[in-house]
Amino acid sequence: MPTKTTLWLRAEHRASEARSPLTPGDAEQLLNAGIQVVVERSARRCFDDNDYLGLGCQLAEPGSWREAPSGAFILGLKELPDDSSPLPHRHIYFAHAYKQQPGAEALLQRFQHGGGELLDLEYLVDGNGRRLAAFGYWAGYLGAALGLLCWAAQQQHAELAMAPVSPWEDRQALLEHLRQVTASAVGQAPPRCLVIGAAGRCGSGARALLEALALPVTGWDIEETRGGGPFPDILQYDLLVNCVLLQGPMPPFLTLPLVSEASRRLSAISDVSCDPGSPYNPLPLYSECTSFGSPAQRLLEDGLPLDMVAIDNLPSLLPRESSADFSAQLLPALLQLPHFPAAPWQANRNLFLQHCQTLKES
């Protein structure tokens, strides 16, 4: 009798991560398809453990994925615990390991040593190369929101850091908060906003947020950036929301010498793509991500301040809405796991094997 396919939903290691790649309702659909679903308990996850249990999932202790059956698929979102232990399972998550990011080589070596495989959600694509499941819309939506909060904080107390942020109950609560904050920037004209990558999922989310607040927004995409930067015109906006995640080398959009010019109007940048460790970062102005507790870092202090928001799990600020959207997108691919490595997983697995081979040859 064939062994039943097991999907093991791990508890997220990162303290600020409340999202889930699988909702209880979509877990039930996997169960109905004959896939065993094990869910690690989590006090942070936006869905209650009992919601999964009541639909037929098995519950397990946090971190017990290490002892999961050898054939189990371990599903998560963000990074694994940072240690050197071998990884014998197939892991499905956003690993950020294929663009020379810090720690990427060590992570791939852990898979090699354990005999496991990385199935990176960033590279789970259809035949046209379009990602099958992405948080891009919500990342852009919240990236624009935090950029706006950063700008508003500057108008009120330019010498103070932007206040910490925490998840909102839903998008209406977020919009109401933003209306209150921007209204309190008494006497200030509305910020001029620029979204780069405006035609993509992420860019559409950023534009949706700004347009919901009736703010002036300009969108750039391939045509406006085709020649490569730097782009002095960016300095004439108050807020830049970058939604471009480069896959190869390209001249940066901004440089430190450029943003140091006295004629700059730009005071807030929200780098939604948030890839500071990659040589393909189009905004090489910073070296570390920011966090919910400290959302903005000051790049320039003298004269007009310039602050950078660079948080790599922005959709966790609207965890239930973003999780429901992502889980629905991912579900069709998860339903194909009993036929692994059939499409859409085959190309994803091949990419992992190619990177491992390159690692061996280097």
Residue 130, marked binder: yes
Opening angle at CA 253, ends 251 and 259, nearest 5: 125
Catalytic pick among 4, 89, 91, 96: 96
β-strand 117-120 against 73-75: which pairing, if any? unpaired
- Residue 224 CA to residue 204 CA, distance in Å, equals 16
Residue 313, marked binder: yes
Residue 311, marked binder: yes
Report CA 69 to chain centroid distance, whole Å. 29
Catalytic pick among 78, 89, 99, 339: 78
The answer to whether the Cα torsion of 296, 297, 301, 306 is positive or negative is negative
Residue 314, marked binder: yes
β-strand 193-196 against 217-220: which pairing, if any? parallel
| Alpha-carbon separation of residue 191 from 31, 62, 233, 243 (angstroms) | 49, 44, 15, 18
Residue 221, marked binder: yes
Residue 147, marked binder: no
311 and 160 Cβ atoms separated by less than 8 Å: no
Is 96 a catalytic site residue?
yes
- Residue 135 CA to residue 121 CA, distance in Å, equals 11
Residue 244, marked binder: no
Q: What are phi and psi of 40, to 5 degrees?
A: -75, 140
- Residue 220 CA to residue 227 CA, distance in Å, equals 13
In the chain, how many H helices and how many E strands? 10, 12
Residues, the chain: 362
Residue 3, marked binder: no
Residues flagged as binding site: 130, 200-201, 221, 225, 272, 311-314
Active site residues: 78, 96
Binding residues for NAD(+): 130, 200-201, 221, 225, 272, 311-314
